[in-house]
Structure 1
């Protein structure tokens, strides 16, 4: 029996199996700082399929119940795209029931997204669960820790999730690839008063500094939005501009964030969840990309204008706050705004 060491457990391309035969998310162990002694790869259980171990295709018309183990990531953007695939499966095969097993320590705003999505895609259950609790007559698919799957870095994200669930990209409609499941979400009543009904939205802050719009350029971009649209600019973060309002405190949960994006006339952002939400609600968007090629994230969004910044030295970096990396990002934005891009 092969047990994983600390590094192998936390970077395992799939979920983990404890000494007590419980399925565990390595993310939970990392957040808790827990010991990984006695953990094995879930891939050792032959009844549970993992596309990273062996690729497969599934005829979902023959599936009655699907268990998605450790899907679809712990970030908002990844989850929105991953849920799109599950929604597409269910739309094409209404008889399929879906159960999604999630890390119990995922961020609260991501947990809220899955709660909103539950009526669209299916039941949400926290890990850990005993491996014996899942019927071997059901379809059991593990896509845990997908950040460490080689194909995650080499495929457009929507294609990655389709592949990981055994679905051909050609079998999914363009609308499903653009996160239109978000339109089925029942958002609670939302009061914008005293803020304007018509506005454009600025979302400069990504999950990591290297993908965020640097602070020195935010006032300039807000000014360009104001000049272009002649509408109030709402956004996230303090920016000193007469026509800008910080709505961070008015976006207290995920439902409110979705509502702000949905109601915007236009969104300017970087590689953030906002670009995926805007696509779902068909909101015109411009999005800047630094470390990941835009086609890997927004290829299927017809209303998104993507801008790839020239940063070959940072290609493929998932996260960074290093001063040297951020200096490169600032130089690229300065080059872009000095006559190489216009709103």
Structure 2
């Protein structure tokens, strides 16, 4: 199938250039050059693309699976996409996954794949010649998944499993909670925080409409300090005497993961931090504005979701329009009038490890 230049960027799949190389639509979007015409990769023989033709793959018979243009260019999507691969590996450890990534994806996202290299998947950068991927091995196209039918209506982990040819119901919920993160080698915290308990405040998502509203951030820090009696650490400035901005001590994705891993509790929004916390079994409260929480945190038993009433913005992926931000601020102001559903907080033993659970 030949794609015109104006269709290539939103095509539900990867692209094939005239020279036979597989191209990520995202990479074309990032370049200030003529897009030209491309073929749909899914139109080529032997390419599996569930958006074009749903399929099931018997992974017990698979030695190598090539995942082309997975798993998106955001940190949250990538965590969940890699969780889908890990869930398959739990049942079929003989499989080796090779993931082909957009070359121009953000560096902080690529750092996650570097951390997972060799344990969950091996990564390669697009463009990549199609004829260099063995035709007798599984070749699965998940390119441009943001534009696939079902992406906005299914839990994200189920979407990725289906795109990989797996029935989501066949995977236990415990394998959908990102716990492969616990096997990563992460840096230690700075000495001053290494043995000190803290709660974590992660208010900023990839778009303002899914972030915690600026006007209530200081008040939320107060709630956290009053409830837990612990210092509140976070990323970005918040004017509060019990808040510490640790952005300078989080220069990369590995350090960010470490800060979440060692938190006693976390308050966040619909962002990557909520998926990281689930992977490390960190109790969490998360605000949801435009996305239904069951599509994101259904399999996270320690996450308590707070749904803000914003029906006009349902399923909006990104926005910073003035009228939308006014609605967001009003919804947060209303939520602040009530109690927030904080979970139980694990106490610490003398050596700094979690010991038992108590009411704060």
TM-score band (shorter)?
Answer: over 0.9
**Do the aligned partners of 1:69 and 1:141 also contact (CA within 8 Å) in 2?**
yes
Q: How does 1:211-290 map to 2 (within 5 A)?
A: 211-290=210-289
Q: 1:47 to 1:330 in 2, by over 3 A?
A: same
Distance in 1, matches of 2:73 and 2:133, equals 23
**Do the aligned partners of 2:267 and 2:285 also contact (CA within 8 Å) in 1?**
yes
Q: 1:342 to 1:300 in 2, by over 3 A?
A: closer
Equivalent position of 2:345 in the other structure: none
**Do the aligned partners of 1:4 and 1:36 also contact (CA within 8 Å) in 2?**
no
Q: How does 1:50-61 map to 2 (within 5 A)?
A: 50-61=49-60
For normalisation by structure 1, the TM-score amounts to 0.97
* Deviation of the 1:6 alpha carbon: 2.9
**Do the aligned partners of 1:15 and 1:41 also contact (CA within 8 Å) in 2?**
yes
* Deviation of the 1:341 alpha carbon: 4.1
Equivalent position of 1:172 in the other structure: 171
* Deviation of the 1:64 alpha carbon: 1.0
* Deviation of the 1:144 alpha carbon: 0.4
Equivalent position of 2:189 in the other structure: 191
Equivalent position of 2:64 in the other structure: 65
Higher helix share goes to which structure?
1
* Deviation of the 1:340 alpha carbon: 6.1
Distance in 1, matches of 2:306 and 2:183, equals 29
* Deviation of the 1:31 alpha carbon: 0.9
* Deviation of the 1:339 alpha carbon: 2.4
**SS of equivalent residue, structure 1 residue 120:** coil
Q: Which consecutive segments of 4 or more residues in structure 1 shift more than 6 A? A: none
Q: 1:154 to 1:191 in 2, by over 3 A?
A: closer
**SS of equivalent residue, structure 2 residue 329:** helix
Distance in 2, matches of 1:139 and 1:84, equals 19
List runs of 5+ in structure 1 lacking aligned partners: none
User: What per-residue deviation string (whole Å, max 9, x for no partner) do you get for residues 238-290 of structure 1?
Assistant: 11111100011111000000000000000000011000000000000000000
Distance in 1, matches of 2:206 and 2:106, equals 12
Output the aligned Cα RMSD.
Answer: 1.2
List runs of 5+ in structure 2 lacking aligned partners: 343-360
Give the length in aligned residue pairs. Answer: 341
For normalisation by structure 2, the TM-score amounts to 0.93
**SS of equivalent residue, structure 2 residue 98:** strand
**SS of equivalent residue, structure 1 residue 11:** coil
Equivalent position of 2:349 in the other structure: none
